[in-house]
Amino acid sequence: MAARTPAHGVDVLVVSLGSTPGLRAADAELARGLQAAGASVALAAAAPPRPVRTLMLTDLGWARAARAAALSGLAEHGGARAVVYCTTTAALLWPRAGAIRFDAPAAANRPGRHGLWQRPLERRRLRAAPLLLPSSEGALAELPAGAGGAAARALVLPVPVEPSGPPAPERDIAAITYGANPEKKGLDRVLAAWRALRAQRPPGEQLVVAGVGAGELAAAGLVRAGEPGVQVTGLLDPSEYRALLRRARVFVCAPRREDYGVAQLEALADGCRLVTTPAPGPYVALPIARRLDARLVGEDLSAALGAALEAPAGDYADRASRELVPFGRRAVDALIARQLLARLLD
């Protein structure tokens, strides 16, 4: 069905916080899926606020930016039948109630002083939202007790993940990791595991660190300039990053908490073997990784990485493809068309 613009404005206004490349891509995918289902959609993107020192102030800046984007979108498009706020932060200062899409609530990923003002306001927004769109069952389970009958108003809506292209003729990268937010991603643990293993590996093998700059890593004391066996790419265009995944044999990570894990799902989709430590949070790729090869999941990251490089399971990629079917665009588009759109517009 072709998208249309009704007399009252668009069917759905998607308010995109977009504070990371992954969130921006997920929000664009949601808008595309709604349009494919026949809705007219506008995407209102929050303008990045100036950097500040604390998570409390960071969330306040993004919440104000999301409110401004929502107000501008509603005014520009003559209103909307429904509004979807992407992340609970985008909904904190909403000008109008709407559905909330989230991969984790502040109740879980803003503990202690980091979420002093966000958590109580989040509970009120979750109670008032007509529809909740967690990215996983784990995200739904993390909702606070004060969310008010959340399960009855929830529809689990995964972020679609697809292969980015044909595999490279040769997988010439031994291992790759995504290092944005190095502390949360546990990049120090990944580097320690690689350094412990590297002496046993053929000369010339590389760990590629994407998503973070060499200067930031050097300043944090994580990677020294010119370190053998470690290549730091900086922040890449998504197509460039996915091309590296298609060349890599292993994706390795050690998150201290994982709110969803789209980078791990993308790595599996592009044919990498996933080596990871367990982590708290709604880490959707963790049970998949265990089913694919339990040797590659554990606290001994160096041993798991060695097993992935030395003795990989021969049918790993085929089984990974089957595991990712529920996360594919076709499955998510069907969920949007059959359930989400009607619940939004009702």
Q: What is the pLDDT of residue 314?
A: 86
pLDDT exceeds 90 at position 298: yes
Do 321 and 309 share a structural domain? yes
Please determine, for residue 6, whether its predicted confidence score (pLDDT) is greater than 70: no
The domain in which residue 117 lies consists of 10-160+328-345
Tell me what pLDDT residue 41 has: 98
Statement: residue 5 has pLDDT above 70: no
Same structural domain, 24 and 92 = yes
User: Residues 241-293: pLDDT tens digits?
Assistant: 999 999 999 999 999 999 999 999 999 999 999 999 999 999 999 999 999 99
- Above pLDDT 70, what percent of the chain? 98
Is the pLDDT reported for residue 3 higher than 50?
Answer: no
79 and 45, same domain (yes or no):
yes
Judgement on whether residues 95 and 40 belong to the same structural domain of the protein: yes
- pLDDT of 1 reads 38
Domain identity same for 231 and 320: yes
- DSSP character string of 115-161: GTTHHHHHHHHHHH-S-EEESSHHHHHTS-GGG-SGGGGB---PPP-
Q: What is the arithmetic mean of pLDDT over 93-102?
A: 98
pLDDT in tens, 165-186: 998 999 999 999 999 999 999 9
For 178, phi and psi rounded to 5 degrees? -110, 120
Whether 168 maps to a domain, the answer reads no
Same domain, 129 and 207: no
Helix (H) or strand (E) holding 250: strand 248-253
Q: Are residues 107 and 215 in the same domain?
A: no
Confidence (pLDDT) at 4: 46
Are 34 and 128 part of one and the same domain?
yes
Domain count, the chain: 2
Residue 8 pLDDT level (bands cut at 50, 70, 90)? low
Give the tens place of pLDDT for each residue, 331-343: 999 999 999 999 9
CA distances from 132 to 30, 100, 107, 165 (A): 14, 5, 15, 33
If you average pLDDT over residues 314-338, what whole number do you get? 97
Is 167 a member of any domain? no
Regarding predicted confidence, which is higher, 133 or 109? 133
Query: Based on the domain organization, do 151 and 186 belong to the same domain?
Result: no
